[in-house]
Amino acid sequence: MTYLLPFDPATLPTESFDFLIIGSGVAGLSCAIELAPHGRVAVLTKEDISEGSTQWAQGGIAAALAPEPLDSAKLHEQDTMQAGAGLCDRSAVQVLVTEGPQRVRELIARGAHFDTEPTGELKLTREAAHRARRIVHAHGDSTGREVQRSLSANALESAGITVFEDMLTVDLLISGQDSNRRCCGALALDTETGELRLFRGAATIIATGGIGALYKVTTNPPVLTGDGMAMAFRAGAVLMDMEFVQFHPTAFAKGPNNPKFLISEAVRGEGAILLNTSGERFMSRYHPDAELAPRDVVSRAIAQEILTTGSDYVVLDLTANTAQQIAARFPKIYSTCVAYGIDPAHEPIPVSPAEHYMMGGIRTDLHGATNVYGLLACGECACTGVHGANRLASNSMLEGLVFGIRTVEGAIAVSKSGCPPELNTRSGDGVRAQPFSEAEITAARTRLQETMWHYVGLVRSGAGLRQALNILNELQERYGQPNPTRPSIELSNMITVAQLVARAALEREESRGAHYRTDFPQTLDGDWQHHVLLSNERNQLKVDKAPCS
């Protein structure tokens, strides 16, 4: 195991827990709350407990809560499999859709308040690529914020959970080598004091979310720097489907200096239409479902229309609705648009694609276990194969709920094997990289983001991917060994994960779902209906394949 920073376990403050959870979004907190009756739980989060991507989610949670024949788990399964473009693992999808409704009901029982009809029944909406109205939502378009509020309150009130805020996890603590590797906790940096600390755990669970910060244009918060995936890779865990990065079709696109906030899929689900800057409705030329086509189709269609018209955006037209109607259904979207000079009731919203979600991640089984004993993962940073090549809208928070709670069983099983071995050797030689200035790190981060956006984004090619890898290798050479500061450590993690995304994208010589290559534009089921696996074996990248299950 190669650690980012040198440290001596004998000199660092150490705390021991039964369960160590890294990350505080829907997956991590769902897991923590369920684990609390089974032992002492620590939650490490690098900002405050609510500053992840969960609170940014607008549309809702997909679950077959309507009675048949209006909806069913089978229909939800079919929609998920179709969106996944032939790469979903059916067993994972079946777990998601059959256990999902009960997980939503449990969330409601814990105090989450979703929008309801006057009769008291849950108000359900429809989103792209869903054939039924199955999306539960809160406060119109603030579902993530309500879910995060509820879970955070439950976690903070639990006597069995200790939350450590402003705690950046640097690396996993690993004993043994190869097939005998055992995770026994984590090394963390207290970003308030600059102090390194050790957290030992019988079971360690990564729930650090996605990789939005790797891209120039994203709907994600800047904290999503791929830390969990990078740590897992260094520790010897297998990563899967890293080439599949989802781009949301409709992010606000008025002016270069305004934020790229998300315009929810649910807006199109409620009837909004897409027009190019010539005023033409264009989606029917790309897919029979028009605005309700899968996300990858809509994103590439918008990109093509932008290229054809020479504009920087297309527009999303909601003007068939009154201001009162829009504000009632999408209060956050409406107020934010108005704040930036667009009244959706009177003029269309300028939109363009932005990085949104990572389908790949740390490979796990259906109970969160990785190939490294004692290490588990759940949520967006993990990969069960449930999303395949293209996630179905609003399956993300459902995944966090379902697999976050499923990971509990895996973590308890690990904890029964007893405490992991003590670390009794120091890591590194005490020589740290030369200090990098704040300006230098910012410039390197910007270069990485622009490289990923231009070469490893919506449209890719072999030549572009190789160019990206050349640039990323240069950045790795310069910044791969970080200083003991948050910006430097995050940059190192970003470089590692960016290399993995680009390498997997270069490996897959076809187009499928969110992965589109101009030099291999066809989907080739015979040759490529399998997962690409990446792992670190004695500091060498290993590439494998695994069939879909």
Positions marked active-site = 295
Q: What is the largest CA-CA distance in the chain?
A: 68
Q: Is 490 helix (H, G, I), strand (E, B) or coil?
A: helix
How far is residue 542's CA from residue 534's CA, in Å, rounded to a whole number?
6
How far is residue 466's CA from residue 454's CA, in Å, rounded to a whole number?
12
- Enter the tokens of residue 123: 């108000």
How far is CA 535 from each of CA 126, 229, 472, rounded to the nearest angstrom?
38, 11, 18
Does residue 115 contact residue 122 with C-beta atoms inside 8 Å?
yes
Helices (H), 389-485: 396-415, 438-455, 462-479
Half-sphere exposure of 45 (CA within 13 A, CB side): 24
Other CB atoms within 10 Å distance of the CB of residue 346: 9
How far is residue 223's CA from residue 339's CA, in Å, rounded to a whole number?
24
- Enter the tokens of residue 410: 């895996």
How far is residue 180's CA from residue 174's CA, in Å, rounded to a whole number?
10
**DSSP symbol at 422:** P
CA torsion angle 187 192 193 196 (round to 10): 0
CA torsion angle 227 228 229 231 (round to 10): 80
Does residue 456 contact residue 465 with C-beta atoms inside 8 Å?
yes
Question: Taking Cα atoms as reference points, which of 134, 342, 155 lies closest to residue 253?
Answer: 342
Question: Residue 328 belongs to what H/E stretch?
Answer: helix 323-329
Q: By CB neighbour count within 10 A (0-12 exposed, 13-18 middle, 19+ buried), where does 324 fall?
A: exposed
